[in-house]
């Protein structure tokens, strides 16, 4: 019946290791003593006493202390390793002495294809590394190291250098192709064999059949426009198009926006690649290295990859293919390696909102609701966007591949099949002339997105945004009872409530210690000038109106708005005006209501 009864095994009182010894606390020597000991027994780990002798084995008696009963005779074999354990996994037991397409790279270099000579880096500034069956691709954020002869430096799982370097060149720009080395888990690059290379980066295996079919690279996020609504729209939109993973490049966003990104990391939808190195560059100057990195990062990760900006939506236009993946599924020609889409512009006059307020606000602010004035279709050569087969492309740029390993460089997709809807913010223009370029594509016509996408997208955006930002509040008593469990801390809302009670005798507080009679008289005929008498509260225009109004009934009082943070947390058990509003808003569109309910 009890598990103790069946525990019959032998046990040593002392495990002897190389330099330490392990013994039971409370001067217990035998397992029998441990089992019969009333209190919890601990194990002491001490320096080894060589003269100590192991006791003989013992049989376990039936009645034992619960905490002393979970004993093992042997370590789980998975964990029988020490700090120097560094195995070579099967996928990584590969050595090569050349890189594929080396001749072609040499030819391209001679033709000077892809030299950037951009910015002022004084080192390579490694970004990432990916192991393929026949090479390791290292990406960098420098854009001025073209054709430089370098050495690949390999490190094992303990970052110990594997002294088997490989000579190669920086080609294409921001990229180094290295040979494979058994056991290499980290890699760096140096110009000479003598110098100490910069920090090594982990080698990410890409040696299996790609785990994804269609993924999306989002160009670097930066700038002052609030992003959370655009990010959730982007990700949820492309999920509806069949995308299953997103590489999101990040320079900076607000802390508020970052919460959403991190939530997508949590659920395995995205990876965030932080764009940073110790060299000067303005935020918008990350675009080329972002494209280059995502091109290589997507090889053997996905069959198809779209390289696009946060404000671009690939849109299927024919009845035959409703989603991007249903269209991609029809492509079987191995020479189609880069699908090229034309653009239509939409004038976007305003920034998207900084924060979620309520469902009605969010639905109204969704960019596909707010902005529908669409330009004519551009030509194939005005800022087109691409979906590529990453492993077939030799060099990628923002709008098209520069060089390819196999297939045809350009497959132009007729605009009756698909276009890219490009929302152009006219408020924040980095590039002069962009506005005029867009206006050249007049006339503009109102053209909403397909009804089924609108419906599904609205609902999935609401669900995610509410999951992330619509924090479920509880009342002040509930908060106070939790705070009290932490060394009798007080909830700030509770303190505030106490102060109010103290201030207004009708609310049942005691006034004796804090206020003079004069002050209390003043408080009881209170008008809007009254503010709570503490240092932390500042007076405010509207503060006490609700609090002291005679019309205000029993518990439906509101905390003064004088200290903003506190009143945010303060929620009386009866709904305040705020919560009443939210409930009302929820009911405004009863049709869609069911879709907004959290999963
Ligand atoms: C080592 O163990 C022996 C025998 O138990 C004991 O006499 C001796 O004092 C111990 N030495 C130390 C340094 O603890
Ligand atoms: C770690 O384990 C290995 C293999 O079992 C062994 O050869 C090595 O000596 C151990 N190293 C240390 C420091 O205990
Ligand atoms: C690249 O380097 C090779 C050898 O170092 C050299 O022969 C070639 O001219 C270089 N190409 C360019 C475009 O600099
Ligand atoms: C990003 O950083 C720049 C300067 O480094 C700053 O001016 C800008 O406000 C930041 N943007 C956001 C959204 O935090
Ligand atoms: C669409 O944009 C054009 C060009 O700015 C403008 O003339 C037109 O009035 C807009 N249409 C609507 C319905 O806003
Ligand atoms: C919480 O409030 C009570 C009553 O005002 C007070 O006695 C106590 O000291 C406060 N606790 C802390 C940790 O400030
Ligand atoms: C509170 O103030 C009122 C009005 O000034 C006074 O009559 C009353 O005695 C005070 N209460 C206590 C407990 O001192």
For residue 325, count other CB atoms closer than 10 A to its CB: 16
The β-bridge relationship of strands 212-221 and 312-316 is: unpaired
Beta bridge pairs of residue 3: none
11 pLDDT higher than 50: no
- Ligand 5 pocket residue status of 373, Cβ below 6 Å: yes
Q: What is the dihedral of CA 395, 397, 402, 406, to 10 degrees?
A: 50
Protein residue closest via CA to atom 12 of ligand 7: 512
Pocket, ligand 6, Cβ cutoff 6 A: 488-490, 498
The CA 441 to ligand 5 mean position distance, Å, reads: 12
pLDDT > 70 fraction of the chain, expressed in percent and rounded:
77
Tokens 């500034």 identify what position? 125
Taking alpha carbons only, the member of 132, 139, 224 closest to residue 184 is 132
Asked if the model's pLDDT at residue 291 lies above 60, the reply is yes
Question: Beta-carbon neighbour count of residue 282 at 10 Å?
Answer: 10
Domains of the chain: 3-79 (no CATH), 90-205 (2.60.40), 212-469 (3.90.550), 476-529+545-586 (no CATH)
Closest CA to 367 of 351, 378, 389: 351
pLDDT, one tens digit per residue, over 537-591 is 444 443 333 333 333 343 333 333 333 333 333 333 333 344 333 333 333 343 4
For residue 497 the two structure tokens come to 């409530």
What does the alpha-carbon distance between residue 122 and residue 453 come to, in Å, rounded to a whole number? 48
Instruction: Tell me, in angstroms, the distance from the centre of ligand 2 to residue 84's CA.
Output: 7
Give the integer Cα–Cα distance in Å for 12 and 6.
Answer: 18
Nearest to 247 by CA among 297, 201, 209: 297
The answer on pLDDT for 20 being more than 90 is no
Please tell me the number of the ligand nearest to residue 280's CA. Answer: 4
For the segment 322-361, what is each residue's pLDDT rounded down to a tens digit?
999 999 999 999 999 999 999 999 999 999 999 999 999 9
- 445 Cα: distance to centroid of ligand 5 (angstroms): 7
Distance (Å) from CA 533 to ligand 3 centroid: 77
Q: Which ligand is nearest to the CA of 87?
A: 2
Atom of ligand 7 nearest to the CA of 517: 5
User: Minimum mean pLDDT among 106-110, 197-201, 304-308, 548-552: which range?
Assistant: 548-552
| Rounded Cα–Cα distance for residues 303 and 244 (Å) | 12
Find which of 64-78, 269-283, 537-551 is predicted with most confidence, using mean pLDDT: 269-283
CB-based burial label for 280 (10 Å; 0-12, 13-18, 19+): exposed
DSSP 392: G
Q: For atom 3 of ligand 3, which residue has the closest CA?
A: 147
């Amino acid at each position: 019946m009890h598990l103790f009864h069946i525990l019959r095994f032998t046990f040593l009182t002392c495990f002897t290791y190389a330099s330490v010894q392990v013994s039971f606390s409370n001067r217990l020597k035998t397992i029998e003593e441990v089992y019969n000991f009333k209190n919890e027994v601990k194990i002491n780990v001490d320096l080894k006493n060589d003269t100590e002798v192991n006791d003989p084995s013992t049989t376990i008696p039936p009645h034992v202390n619960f905490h002393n009963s979970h004993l093992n005779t042997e370590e789980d074999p998975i964990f029988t390793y020490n700090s120097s354990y560094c195995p070579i996994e099967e996928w990584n037991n590969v050595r090569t002495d050349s890189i594929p397409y080396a001749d072609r790279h040499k030819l391209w270099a001679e033709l000077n294809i892809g030299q950037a000579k951009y910015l002022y880096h004084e080192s390579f500034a490694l970004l990432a590394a990916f192991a393929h069956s026949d090479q390791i691709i290292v990406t960098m954020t420098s854009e001025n190291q073209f054709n430089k002869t370098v050495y690949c430096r390999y490190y094992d799982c303990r970052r110990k250098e594997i002294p088997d370097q490989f000579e190669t060149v920086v080609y294409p720009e921001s990229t180094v192709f290295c040979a494979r080395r058994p056991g290499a888990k980290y890699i760096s690059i140096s110009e000479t064999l003598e110098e100490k290379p910069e920090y090594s980066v982990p080698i990410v295996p890409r040696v299996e059949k790609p785990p994804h079919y269609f993924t999306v690279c989002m160009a670097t996020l930066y700038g002052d426009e609030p992003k959370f609504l655009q990010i959730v729209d982007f990700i949820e939109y492309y999920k509806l198009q069949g995308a299953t993973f997103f590489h999101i490049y990040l320079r900076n966003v607000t802390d508020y926006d970052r919460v959403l990104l991190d939530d997508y990391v949590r659920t395995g939808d995205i990876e965030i690649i932080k764009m940073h190195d110790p060299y000067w560059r303005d935020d918008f100057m990350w675009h080329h290295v972002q494209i280059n990195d995502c091109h290589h990062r997507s090889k053997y990760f996905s069959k198809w990859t779209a390289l696009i900006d946060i404000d671009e939506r690939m849109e299927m236009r024919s009845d035959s293919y409703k989603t991007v993946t249903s269209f991609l599924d029809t492509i079987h020609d191995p020479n189609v390696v880069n699908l090229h889409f034309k653009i239509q512009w939409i004038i976007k006059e305003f920034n998207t909102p900084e924060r979620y307020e309520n469902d009605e606000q969010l639905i109204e602010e969704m960019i596909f609701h707010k902005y529908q004035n669409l330009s004519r279709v551009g030509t194939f050569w005005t800022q087109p966007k691409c979906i590529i087969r990453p492993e077939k492309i030799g060099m990628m740029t923002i709008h098209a591949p520069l060089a390819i390993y196999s297939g045809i460089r350009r497959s132009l997709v007729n605009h009756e099949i698909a276009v890219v809807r490009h929302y152009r913010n006219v408020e924040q223009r980095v590039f002069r002339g962009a506005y005029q370029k867009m206006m050249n594509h007049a006339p503009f016509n109102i053209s909403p997105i397909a009804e089924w996408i609108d419906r599904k997208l609205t609902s999935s955006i609401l669900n995610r945004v509410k999951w992330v930002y619509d924090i479920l509040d509880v009342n002040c008593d509930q908060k106070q009872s939790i705070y009290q469990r932490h060394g009798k801390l007080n909830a700030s809302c509770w303190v505030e409530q106490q102060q109010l009670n103290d201030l207004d005798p009708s609310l049942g507080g005691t006034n004796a210690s804090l206020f003079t009679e004069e002050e209390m008289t003043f408080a009881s005929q209170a008008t809007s000038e009254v503010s709570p008498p503490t240092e932390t509260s500042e007076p405010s225009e509207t503060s006490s109106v609700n609090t002291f109004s005679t019309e205000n009934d029993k518990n439906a009082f509101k905390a003064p708005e004088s200290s903003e943070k506190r009143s945010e947390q303060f929620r009386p058990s009866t709904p305040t005006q705020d919560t009443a509003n939210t409930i009302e808003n929820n009911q405004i569109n009863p049709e869609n209501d069911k879709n907004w309910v959290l999963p």
